[in-house]
Homo-oligomer: A and B are copies of this chain.
């Protein structure tokens, strides 16, 4: 086979490994083993280590792919000049990485205890996302699209909303998807629950 075909094949297998690891993380957290990944893909351990020298390198690759995906989705939202601030806010709030779906609190805690270095990386990433979203809203104040609310309070509220608010139990009990819950939440935050006429 020529070089390009080989390289393409290598990229496909690399992607399959990352997807298998992501599926393991989603199901069992970060305590999955390299054997779990090889079993899923029916490949040898030698072959796996040919792509990722260690489990931590594999975990890093999963996180990198998740972050690139989220970043790409958000880039599209922020750059879409057709969208209002309200629309952008709602869209950013409901972004979730295709690879692993909405994050859960327990996964973060698991990451913090097993790969603290990666956890710090993820924390920074979340903080940057939050800062960008709040900056979008703050910019809307001067053009009178956004009320001059207390942005520290809103930031705290959005941070908790993005992370802790809708766990699996809540969604099952209320028969909602994560997306439903976040859309409902965004509606409350953007427009409030008091009927406008009742001023």
Contact = CB atoms under 8 A, between A and B. Distances in A.
Given A149-B193, A188-B192, A192-B190, A165 B160 contact: yes
B184 A189 contact: no
A52 B164 CA distance: 40
Contact of A154 (B149, B150, B164, B193): B193
Interface in A136-170: 137, 144-147, 149-150, 152-154, 156-157, 160-161, 164-166, 170
A190 B146 CA distance: 15
A190 to B, nearest CB: 5
Tallying the copies of this chain within the complex gives 2
Interface string A33-74: 000000000000000000000000000000000000000000
A194 B85 CA distance: 9
A196 B196 contact: yes
Given A86-B198, A190-B192, A194-B190, A156 B166 contact: yes
Given A147-B194, A150-B176, A188-B192, 6 more contacts: A157-B185, A157-B188, A188-B189, A189-B192, A189-B193, A190-B194
